[in-house]
Amino acid sequence: MVSERGLEVLRVIVQDYVASREPVGSKSIVDRHSFGVSAATIRNDMALLEDEELISAPHTSSGRVPTDKGYRVFVNQLADLRPLSSAQRHAIETFLGQSNDLDDVLARTVRLLSQLTNQVALVQYPSLATSRVRHIELVPLTPTRIMTVFITDSGRVEQRLVDLSRPVAETELADLRTRLNSVLVGLGLTDAAARLATLAADYPPERRPLVSEVTTSLVEQVLANRQDKLVMAGAANLARTEEDFSGSIYPVLEAIEEQVTLLRLFGEIQVESGGVTASIGRENESFGLEETSVVTSEYSSSGGSIARLGVLGPTRMDYSNNMAAVRAVARYLSRLLDED
């Protein structure tokens, strides 16, 4: 059983090791922190922490470093996350507030998270499994070329150029646009794809080729992004912490490039609504990421879909700052998308 002072010793070992990457000894703890006890007493506390496998001695060093179990206890003991500074909060609002659409806001989100945490930032697109059609737009570019725009209630916008087999009048295009919106708006994507596949049969034979060309494009747009996907930024941050990995960093880089792996990891991490969670070290072993930690939270889109965002880095990371940043960005992103 670890005492309250023992937990405090663990806390400063984690904080000092994260800051310096140097093993932490009892003398430096006494010199740097106000425990009011001798170095011998701190050594006894550290021995108990080592017995509990919360810290370990790397090689022959007299200092100690946290273990995965130690990081887990440290994170679980975080009563309050360090609040972001007013400058950081202003940066989030200003940078994300300049976004034009969902693709842009998520690209900005990962860049911002990467800068705030110095880790690899990850944002999952809102799942289209529960998305519904918000609007269809047909934009004439030339008499024989149009742009089809497919918009979901989760904020996803998909655009395609369609070359038509014959010129089309704007009145005919307007009629088709009205018809598409009247039958598709509010439908889920599976139902929308099925309805699009039969829509041409509702028209006279002479108009069916045109309708078929447009609906074929729209079906492709519906299906194009059915698979969940991630946006990532900050891989260079991971490379800069290569010394934190015992072996080669390349398996980790390969794993983060494999989106299926990270999407599975995101899906298995349990996050309370509005909260933030860290998955640490060996907890990620089944994904080939046993030397990394992932801090994640949830955000909601305008259509109510829930998706994940977070950061990935070595287990030696600033959990307090990273968890606060992830939570703050997730909350602001939810508010921003809810306004759209």
5-19 confidence digits (pLDDT tens) = 999 999 999 999 999
pLDDT in tens, 48-80: 999 999 999 987 667 899 999 999 999 998 766
Residue 302 — pLDDT band, cuts 50, 70, 90?
low
Q: Which pLDDT score is estimated for 163? A: 93
Q: Which pLDDT score is estimated for 144? A: 93
- Give the Cα separation of 73 and 1 in Å (integer): 12
Q: Which pLDDT score is estimated for 173? A: 93
Residue 174 — pLDDT band, cuts 50, 70, 90?
very high
Q: Which pLDDT score is estimated for 80? A: 65
The percent of residues in the chain predicted with pLDDT above 90, rounded, is 51
Q: Which pLDDT score is estimated for 225? A: 54
How crowded is the C-beta side of 104, counted as CA atoms within 13 Å? 9
Mean pLDDT of the chain: 88
Structural domains of the chain sorted by starting position, each given as residue range(s) with its CATH number in brackets: 4-76 (1.10.10.10), 86-127+228-339 (3.30.450.40), 133-224 (3.30.390.10)
Residue 340 — pLDDT band, cuts 50, 70, 90?
low
Q: What is the DSSP string of 241-268?
A: TGGGSSS-SHHHHHHHH-HHHHHHHHHH
CB 244 within 8 A of CB 312: no
Q: Which pLDDT score is estimated for 103? A: 83
User: Which of 65-69, 265-269, 279-283 shows the lowest per-residue confidence on average (mean pLDDT)?
Assistant: 265-269
User: Which of 54-58, 201-205, 206-210, 221-225 shows the lowest per-residue confidence on average (mean pLDDT)?
Assistant: 221-225
Q: Which pLDDT score is estimated for 158? A: 83
pLDDT in tens, 133-169: 899 999 999 999 999 999 888 777 888 999 999 999 9
Residue 13 φ/ψ region, left for φ over 0, alpha for ψ in the -120 to 50 degree band, beta for the rest:
alpha
Distant-in-sequence, close-in-space partners of 179: CB < 8 Å, separation ≥ 6: 199, 202
Q: What is the DSSP string of 72-107?
A: HHHHHT--SPPPPPHHHHHHHHHHHHT--SHHHHHH
pTM of the model: 0.75
Angle at 45 between CA 41 and CA 48, to 5 degrees: 140
The percent of residues in the chain predicted with pLDDT above 70, rounded, is 94
